[in-house]
Amino acid sequence: MFKIGLRSNCISRAFLTKSSIRKFSASKLEGKIALITGAASGIGKETAKKFINNGAKVVIADIQTKLGKETATELGTHASFISCDVSKESDIAHAVDYAVSNYGQLDIMFNNAGIACHTPPTIVDLDLAAFDRVMSINVRGVVAGIKHASRVMIPQGHGSILCTSSITGVLGGLAQHTYSISKSTVVGVMKSAAAELCRYGIRINCISPFAIPTPFVIEEMRVYFPGVDDQGLAKMIHDNGVLRGAICEPEDIANAALYLASDDAKYVSGHNLVVDGGFTSIKNLSFPVSNEFESEE
């Protein structure tokens, strides 16, 4: 009887321990308030879901009002929506104020919104009007997000700011100039801001994903491959990956955002986290077979 009771007690303790571990691992952002731009779909939406599942309340800021409201409803009571065009500083300021007035604080700002660019790929044909439009969203929108998040985080004495860059900002030739320039600039903006914000206890980092067949990317690719269906476009993206047995998915970027936003990364700032399976680290050279390269023995 004693043995049975002892065994039962051990099982209960083991169960409680596992339950505690699950609860702890699912609450990395417990009590945190996050604002995510471009969160109506794609990476932003997946990140909002990940944050909520880890205890945060999330403000979804997006120019797509109908879709944004639907996403907030889908994600439940810990999600809310505000219309936001990141090319307008007043919209970003209002979104930040909305988060603070509704929840009393802002702990995480994820500057995720961005657009692609349909301009000729050559530098001599660069459309500077289109360039200015992309920069106003992909760069100026990020700067405005950092500015207004800092405005409320500095008095708090803490905060985590994230920005979406891209592997096209790490390695040249992966996209046409306008998009690549905008994304490499985001990394520079982040590093510049990190130099100041560290003195206030605010961390700021970038995430640079490999291409993912989100609606955003698929829409861009349709312009260049009009005869290929969405499944074929997705396969083209996945086939360009270099990490065997894995593909890059929105959840991978959401996991990276969760890490950088949480206390797991409490001493990580000014960093560009590249999530590409090693793509930008690899360059294979194929040499012709020749006696010149044979060792002499």
- The pTM for the full model equals 0.86
What is the sign, positive or negative, of the torsion defined by CA atoms of 145, 89, 152, 76? negative
What's phi and psi for 229, nearest 5 deg? -75, 175
Cβ–Cβ < 8 Å for 274, 170: yes
Helix H or strand E segment including 131? helix 128-138
> What is the predicted pLDDT for the residue at 171?
93
Of the chain, the end-to-end C-alpha distance in Å amounts to: 77
Where do the DSSP E strands lie in 87-185? 108-111, 159-164
> What is the predicted pLDDT for the residue at 226?
87
Rounded-to-integer distance, Cα 247 and Cα 212, Å: 9
Does residue 83 sit in helix, strand or coil? strand
Rounded-to-integer distance, Cα 285 and Cα 280, Å: 15
Q: Which residues pair with 159 in a beta bridge?
A: 202
What's phi and psi for 227, nearest 5 deg? -90, 0
CA dihedral 60, 136, 134, 169 (to 10 degrees): -80
pLDDT tens, N- to C-terminus, the chain (297 residues)? 444 454 445 444 444 444 444 444 468 999 999 999 999 999 999 999 999 999 999 999 999 999 999 999 999 999 999 999 999 999 999 999 999 999 999 999 999 999 988 778 899 999 999 999 999 999 999 999 999 999 999 999 999 999 999 999 999 988 899 999 999 999 999 999 999 999 999 999 999 999 998 887 888 788 888 889 989 999 999 999 999 999 999 999 999 999 999 999 999 999 999 999 999 998 776 656 555 444 444
> What is the predicted pLDDT for the residue at 285?
67
Rounded-to-integer distance, Cα 71 and Cα 74, Å: 5
Output the CA–CA distances (angstroms, integers) from residue 46 to 134, 167, 249, 261, in the order listed. Answer: 24, 19, 10, 15
Instruction: Indicate which residues carry an active-site annotation.
Output: 179
Where do the DSSP E strands lie in the chain? 33-37, 57-62, 79-83, 108-111, 159-164, 202-209, 272-275
Cβ–Cβ < 8 Å for 81, 62: yes
> What is the predicted pLDDT for the residue at 10?
47
Cβ–Cβ < 8 Å for 247, 241: yes
For the chain, state the CA radius of gyration: 22
Q: In sequence order, what are the residues at sequence separation of 6 or more whose Cβ sits closer than 8 angstroms to the Cβ of residue 175?
A: 166, 168
